Amino acid sequence: MSGTHPTLELDWLGEPWLAAAGAAALATGLGEWANRRWFGWLPDDPPRPGRKQHGRPIPLAGVVLVLLGVPWCLGLAAHGLAAAAAVAGLVGFLDDRGKEHGRDLDWRWKALGLGLATAVAAGTACDPLARPWTFAGLWLLGFVLTNATNFLDNTDGVCAALAAASLLGLSGGAGPGGVLAGLALGFLPYNWPRPRVFLGDAGAYLLGIGTAWAVGQRLQSGTLQPLWAVAIQLLDFTQVVVARLWLGVPPWVGDRRHLTHIAQNLGVGKRWVAPLFSLLAAALAVLSRG
């Protein structure tokens, strides 16, 4: 016997995603408490007929993640991602504020803001002057993914859980992608299974632009395999937009035709939709790293 004993490795405690999850959990809790007890600084999502199923106003706290994520990305020298996240988060917050008073942000301003944000994110993976067609493809993918992520913010926990699974698969938990995955995980307990707050457009756009950025970085390897990590988001976006166009409905008008709603119509309980979709996303994320 050498007299030595095995030691417990705790290196994982220093992982970016874990630190970000703890920070997001603390900040979201404090933000929600201040909104409820001190002053109402968060926009509210009021109940509405149709696809709005909650019976009371719910605060939209995704802006807390924006306030954490942007400076964190700057600290990691991911300046393009930080700028893109700031623009997308601001567009989302203005839209959230407008919805509180029944006045959504004009879709043209929203498209312009998100177009700019996704152009900045795409530019971090590809020089638009040297490779204009590749840049255009990354921009289009980023614009679709950012909106697709927001589209899936329609059932408790789904958007945050899906984004976390995709970002962890794409980043391995490291760097800015790991930080954004951790922010989504830290927010999740407040949004599922009994939601005290919603992400809102600010939070969903942040996670969407972060996912688009992470995919763009991985696509530089020259293979399309990283797209597996965002297959659910892309599939949902495609089928719901095609259905709306077929029915003559504007693509940006919300409805209950998403994959999450289809799952519930097939008998999946509402609180089990987020775990189901996150497990599927995690399995696909493994394929993306294959």
pLDDT digits (tens, 9 = 90+) for 217-233: 999 877 899 999 999 99
Structure tokens at 173: 């938990």
Q: What local confidence, expressed as pLDDT, does residue 74 receive?
A: 96
Q: What local confidence, expressed as pLDDT, does residue 9 receive?
A: 40
Q: Are 113 and 91 in contact (CB under 8 A)?
A: yes
pTM of structure: 0.91
The DSSP element (H or E) to which 253 belongs, if any, is: none
Structure tokens at 172: 């391995």
Report residues of the chain scoring pLDDT below 50.
1-13
The helix/strand/coil state of 268 is: coil
